[in-house]
């Protein structure tokens, strides 16, 4: 981390300021050391990453996933390939914010993984802060090793280690449904953003791919087998589906007489995706069948979470039924900030 980010960080338990004691420095960057509160709580900085949680807990599948596919979804890795531009388009359709709300602003991502959306923020001129519970933070740090305008933190998005109201905007894409309490994650994100700032959230949609009986069945099977075989069976199935099953079903869907049957097969029995790039199919199928927690939600549910978090101008965005945005600044949020300042 760069030392300039210290003022963004707070103890997630007490909210106290953190004093930096770095024992490995270079050009303003801290590679090792400790963050300490007045009351004596300490949080280590390991390999340049402030660590506010002791382990991955329910997020371990993502740590494994992003170490295996560290840059597969970055735009730089997809130039001239079938998924070129997809990550940027996805970000823009979910957030629906123009460049002026990002350029020169400090933007936070809840659940950053290896950082593909942080990369979009940086290319739009924003200062990017990412927090993730999993060891994907190691991958993200490597992906932005030379960029002093990126801060990567290992922490809990339900109890984030930041100053309230410190960010100009924030988002969480495909993450909060992997926590025990997505609504609390929406509120936590809103609390970190200044009044008048923007926030966007996207979660799994009820009744769509991640809610299919086939996906749920394979996910439950993986969790049982994982105790003995680790990620081997999930990797084997994802490889088989990405390379053989998915392309075959997509070809069979071209016949009108078979399309309905193939769609029913996918919904109920076979986890399959029609993405054009085999690498993305492999990654996304593995991603679908391995999480310990993966809830699905409805549009009205997500919009209500944003309103309850103190957002105004709440609306659905273009990406899907459960992608939405709002403007932070309700009386409740302002009251919280006033009490902290007092």
CA distance 262 to 228: 32
Percent of the chain with pLDDT over 70: 96
For the chain, the distance separating the N- and C-terminal CA atoms, rounded to the nearest angstrom, is 30
Question: Among 290, 289, 285, 291, which residue's Cα sits nearest to residue 243?
Answer: 285
**Strand 167-173, strand 127-132: pairing:** unpaired
pLDDT at 336 over 80: no
CA distance 133 to 155: 5
Tokens 């002093």 found at = 148
57-204+297-341 domain in CATH 3.40.50.150?
yes
Radius of gyration of the chain (CA): 20
pLDDT band with cut points at 50, 70 and 90 for residue 335: very low
Q: What is the pLDDT of residue 330?
A: 52
Question: Among 55, 59, 69, 58, which residue's Cα sits nearest to residue 235?
Answer: 69
pLDDT at 75 over 90: yes
Question: Average pLDDT of 22-42?
Answer: 89
Mean pLDDT of the chain: 95
3-state class of 330 per DSSP? coil
Question: Average pLDDT of 204-226?
Answer: 97
Question: Average pLDDT of 283-296?
Answer: 98
CATH 3.40.50.150 range(s) for the chain read: 57-204+297-341
pLDDT band with cut points at 50, 70 and 90 for residue 24: confident
pLDDT band with cut points at 50, 70 and 90 for residue 23: confident
DSSP character for 205? B
Question: Among 71, 72, 65, which residue's Cα sits nearest to residue 136?
Answer: 65
Q: What is the pLDDT of residue 292?
A: 97
Per-residue pLDDT tens digits for 246-286 = 999 999 999 999 999 999 999 999 999 999 999 999 999 99
pLDDT at 308 over 90: yes
Backbone conformation region of residue 301, classed left if phi is above 0, alpha if psi is from -120 to 50, else beta: alpha
Per-residue pLDDT tens digits for 153-208 = 999 999 999 999 999 999 999 999 999 999 999 999 999 999 999 999 999 999 99
CA distance 277 to 309: 38
Q: What is the pLDDT of residue 333?
A: 44
């Amino acid at each position: 981390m760069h030392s300039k980010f210290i003022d963004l960080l707070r103890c997630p338990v007490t909210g106290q300021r953190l004093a930096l004691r770095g024992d490995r420095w270079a050009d303003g960057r801290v590679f090792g050391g400790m963050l300490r509160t007045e009351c004596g709580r300490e949080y280590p900085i390991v390999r340049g990453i402030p660590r506010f949680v002791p382990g991955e807990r329910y997020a371990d599948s993502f740590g494994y996933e992003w170490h295996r596919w560290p840059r597969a979804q970055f735009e730089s890795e997809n130039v001239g390939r079938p998924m070129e531009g997809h990550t940027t388009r996805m970000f823009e359709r979910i957030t629906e914010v123009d460049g002026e709300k990002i350029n020169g602003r400090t933007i936070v991502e809840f659940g950053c993984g290896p950082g593909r959306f942080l990369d979009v923020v940086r290319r739009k001129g924003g200062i990017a802060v990412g927090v993730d519970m999993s060891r994907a933070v190691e991958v993200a740090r490597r992906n932005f090793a030379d960029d002093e305008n990126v801060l990567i933190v290992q922490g809990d998005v339900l109890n984030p280690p930041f100053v309230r109201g410190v960010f100009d905007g924030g988002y969480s894409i495909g993450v909060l449904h992997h926590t025990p309490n997505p609504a609390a994650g929406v509120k936590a994100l809103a609390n970190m953003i200044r009044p008048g700032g923007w926030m966007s959230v996207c979660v799994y949609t009820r009744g769509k791919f991640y809610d299919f009986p086939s996906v749920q069945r394979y996910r439950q099977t993986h969790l049982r087998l994982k105790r003995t075989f680790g990620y081997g069976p999930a990797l084997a199935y994802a490889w088989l589906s990405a390379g053989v099953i998915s392309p075959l079903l997509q070809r069979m869907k071209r016949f009108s007489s078979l399309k309905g049957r193939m769609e029913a097969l996918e919904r109920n029995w076979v986890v399959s995706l029609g993405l054009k790039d085999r690498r993305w199919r492999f990654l996304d199928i593995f991603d679908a069948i391995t999480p310990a927690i993966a809830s699905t939600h409805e549009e009205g549910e997500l919009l209500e979470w944003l309103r309850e978090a103190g957002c105004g101008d709440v609306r659905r965005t273009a990406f899907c039924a459960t992608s939405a945005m709002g403007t932070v600044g309700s009386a409740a949020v302002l009251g919280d900030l006033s009490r902290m300042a007092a």
